[in-house]
Structure 1
């Protein structure tokens, strides 16, 4: 009993310290605090309660800046009230699903908050999915209503959904739009729903049909975990370049409820435009996926020199590993502001690499944040000695409960598998060596593609690289590497580079040159497409 009390006091102290440092604990009017507290009690800690509380605490703070202009937290609150009434009029109620297929703009946010206020579930559709994938997901999840950008209307033809609402329009329209629905309903407060809505984020689908990973409210502990190793501050202006439908983009949408952030959004990513937006909008932080950093650094030096990112204190990257020496290249150019977050759709987050971690070990995934447990287990589920490789298992407050279509991830002792293999180094940093299903045995030796990919990525001619296992008559399996290059280089030169840095059996059997690697909207290389070539 005494131990539980001590643990509770320690947790409360850590929470207060982290939230105080981030500026969340700050002076507010007593009336604002009461109104915000009542909102959270009535609506919960998800988008419905979080954004309602933010509107009551700081109504005139700018919440969103997109290509249409800006909205305050109060305007977001009122718009979502009106939109929730409209959705309800179209048959959406507590426990129903609303599919959202939007790029990064206010429509995504309007729809998310309105859906939450009805106690309905938000299903986020990947804007890069092909039509068969989308139709399969919609058939499985059966949303009551779809909110989509006009450009995606053709992809969802044939989907059995009664109501479609356009979020972003590029020309003449038929049927309801978010703006027409908002304008036609009262923006007065709506009554709290009988349940708290869930959010459903889809897996990337790189290895098969996308699966739905549902979550209820994240809670305060998850935010404290991220903030314990990533110094975001209250009131910052954050350019969310990562797709909002992706776990990492959505995380910053969710953090904005707590941090009172101004979310700076653009519908499409362009490397130079990203720098321009961060500069022109006076952003304090940027949320990206690693391929965005690669594309920015591939710009000509004279282009990079035109932009001053000295105001940017945090560049938060997640979604895939940082290849080669990308971290060092970024920080040498823009300063020590890069934070790399390792996790997955299912476990959310596992570790965070700070600039200090990345300077010491550029390929490191960092250390577990507050209230997060990471263990390396062998095939029998036993923890391996420190420094040995094994399967990565994670425990935190955001583990998903299982896929919407059934099934889930392996659980051992309350810890969930990420599907990756890794190890801890002598300084306690996690290193992810690759997917457990990507390892090949070549001539009796275990080979992970990621080690070879990182080696090739360090060659100054290589822009991007991916490696896959292929059958080999002599070794059983060998690697085939695919590269996109910045200047002429021969296959023999690249093989020699690997041979000079890694064991001979890790040299790819062949290297294929491509203009660019196939990727999905979240920047992950589609290795399944490569392995069929």
Structure 2
């Protein structure tokens, strides 16, 4: 097996390295420190009994810190003991018979306690959960539900009209009612609160068969794909994250990333394992994020790049109006960090920014620390503990540092396949990430773009991300996306779609001259369009085909 760097081992060697490093990493972060030996014993016993599932993380945390605030949302606070009790009742209400066939549960919710409680309750019963994105269009949702028909659908009232009608019977449950008092639900079935209130507290045991979590790919280029992930990841992924991020036990973690996405869901798993206080809100608003950090003394922010862009787009006086000194760590994932966003954010907020690279299928495979990003703003960092990354050419041969190739990765979080049976490409036991990139001479990974986004213009290979980064550095630019359009002479050419900052003016010639000053001629966008906004999905990724649809707007 050929590796990207000599220290990245494969097979038994990699697993052995994890076994040695996991306890040390967890001890350094305070996870194994027995302040109260009796409670620590209860915690370990619960974890051994339930395993490293979402349910196991909660049960263990409730045994160790029952009175600590576990969850904060618009409705208030829940302690770990309260969350444990409520999810026990909900699990029994949703699936009364422990030995019955496990249902498939579709969940269509924004970030709030109902979503968290539903996920934990399903984990306690071993149900398979399909996490449906709130940004799915009606056609996409219907397509997904035809393939992954659910026995139970838990949804917010605002999505009631999008739920499938007819066909197989579906039990519908309301997660977030329409009215602030929880009364309106548009005939969508009982509310989670009603189920919890009318169900006696049961004595639950771990399910005999663990369910699965089905995440949907972003679907930016068509129909989303369902990817099954193992429900019991073990301690390796947690240790991998802790090995390169300064997270601590009892952090107050503001999770702005959607929990229905693998990044948000994994962050919730980490938070429960760290016995953190999770703070969530249904809708992202950049100023509200700063207000929440101040009011809740949040120490960690979990987010995606577009959210950081929106925070940085706030006037400096607005950002300065909030005391964010409690914030130590910001972890970002989901798409590329554009332009000089990393440095600008760390200049504005004295935090340790970490950029996590991964995918729905593979979890996280590399992490860039604040020091990495200060020196190299566009790097995806180094492989996390227990992960292997290599760059291969089209024939499967390793390429030297500085040469762009296809990114393959292996770690303990690999998914179990697509629900529709679609094939997944692997080489030497490593999964193709769908991206192309390169290592530099120091072993830092760089993502050059999506493999299917490479543009061949006049015989030259061009990646839109390079032009995006250059354009994003213009002070007049708030957001930018670069993609390809058909060209009768060159086959393809680049087109740029730009949202200017408030009060700023910019013209197409200025953009082209600026790009030409830093990149080759064939990397200069020949088409430059100005927009009031860019079409994005719920994770903040630009949807390319919608850029073309609105080109004349």
- The TM-score normalised by the length of structure 1 is 0.96
Instruction: Give distance in 2, aligned partners of 1:363 and 1:52.
Output: 39
Query: How big is the shift at 1:410?
Result: 0.7
Stretches of structure 2 lacking an aligned partner (at least 5 in a row): 1-9
Give the equivalent residue in structure 2 for 1:63: 70
- 1:204 partnered with 2:204: no
Distance change (3 Å), C-alpha of 1:525 and 1:201? same
- 1:528 partnered with 2:545: yes
Deviations 1:51-76, CA, capped at 9 Å, x for gaps: 11111121111100111110011111
Give the equivalent residue in structure 1 for 2:536: 519
Within 5 Å, which residues of 2 pair with 1:17-28?
Answer: 17-28=24-35
Deviations 1:69-99, CA, capped at 9 Å, x for gaps: 1001111111111111111149995532111
- 1:101 partnered with 2:108: yes
Give the equivalent residue in structure 1 for 2:274: 259
Give the equivalent residue in structure 1 for 2:486: 471
Q: Does the 8 A contact of 1:198 with 1:214 survive in 2?
A: yes
Deviations 1:381-401, CA, capped at 9 Å, x for gaps: 111112211000011000112
2:467 to 452, 455, 462: 452
Query: How big is the shift at 1:270?
Result: 0.2
Give the equivalent residue in structure 2 for 1:298: 313
Instruction: Give distance in 2, aligned partners of 1:472 and 1:190.
Output: 62
Stretches of structure 1 lacking an aligned partner (at least 5 in a row): none
Give the equivalent residue in structure 2 for 1:170: 178
Distance change (3 Å), C-alpha of 1:110 and 1:4? closer
Q: Does the 8 A contact of 1:43 with 1:196 survive in 2?
A: no
- Structure 1 ranges of 4+ moved more than 6 A: 3-9
Query: How big is the shift at 1:531?
Result: 3.2
Q: Does the 8 A contact of 2:471 with 2:480 survive in 1?
A: yes
Instruction: Give distance in 1, aligned partners of 2:353 and 2:18.
Output: 27
Distance change (3 Å), C-alpha of 1:113 and 1:492? same
Q: Does the 8 A contact of 1:59 with 1:74 survive in 2?
A: yes
Query: How big is the shift at 1:7?
Result: 7.4
Give the equivalent residue in structure 1 for 2:5: none
- 1:416 partnered with 2:431: yes
Instruction: Give distance in 2, aligned partners of 1:259 and 1:301.
Output: 34
Query: How big is the shift at 1:141?
Result: 1.0
Instruction: Give distance in 2, aligned partners of 1:305 and 1:414.
Output: 49
Within 5 Å, which residues of 2 pair with 1:119-138?
Answer: 119-138=126-145
Give the equivalent residue in structure 2 for 1:235: 250
Within 5 Å, which residues of 2 pair with 1:23-62?
Answer: 23-62=30-69
Query: How big is the shift at 1:29?
Result: 3.8
CA RMSD of aligned residues (A): 1.9
Give the equivalent residue in structure 2 for 1:85: 92
How many residue pairs are counted as aligned between the two chains?
531
Instruction: Give distance in 2, aligned partners of 1:526 and 1:349.
Output: 23
Deviations 1:206-264, CA, capped at 9 Å, x for gaps: 11111111112121001100110011000010000111111111111100221001000
Give the equivalent residue in structure 1 for 2:262: 247
Distance change (3 Å), C-alpha of 1:163 and 1:90? farther
Instruction: Give distance in 1, aligned partners of 2:11 and 2:539.
Output: 41
SS of residue in 2 equivalent to 1:366: strand
Q: Does the 8 A contact of 1:283 with 1:311 survive in 2?
A: yes
Give the equivalent residue in structure 2 for 1:110: 117
Distance change (3 Å), C-alpha of 1:328 and 1:339? same
Query: How big is the shift at 1:116?
Result: 1.1
Distance change (3 Å), C-alpha of 1:239 and 1:94? farther
Instruction: Give distance in 1, aligned partners of 2:342 and 2:99.
Output: 45
Give the equivalent residue in structure 2 for 1:362: 377
Give the equivalent residue in structure 1 for 2:395: 380
- 1:395 partnered with 2:410: yes
Give the equivalent residue in structure 2 for 1:504: 521
Query: How big is the shift at 1:161?
Result: 4.6
- 1:152 partnered with 2:159: yes
Query: How big is the shift at 1:30?
Result: 4.1
Query: How big is the shift at 1:38?
Result: 3.4
Q: Does the 8 A contact of 2:228 with 2:419 survive in 1?
A: yes
Give the equivalent residue in structure 1 for 2:197: 183
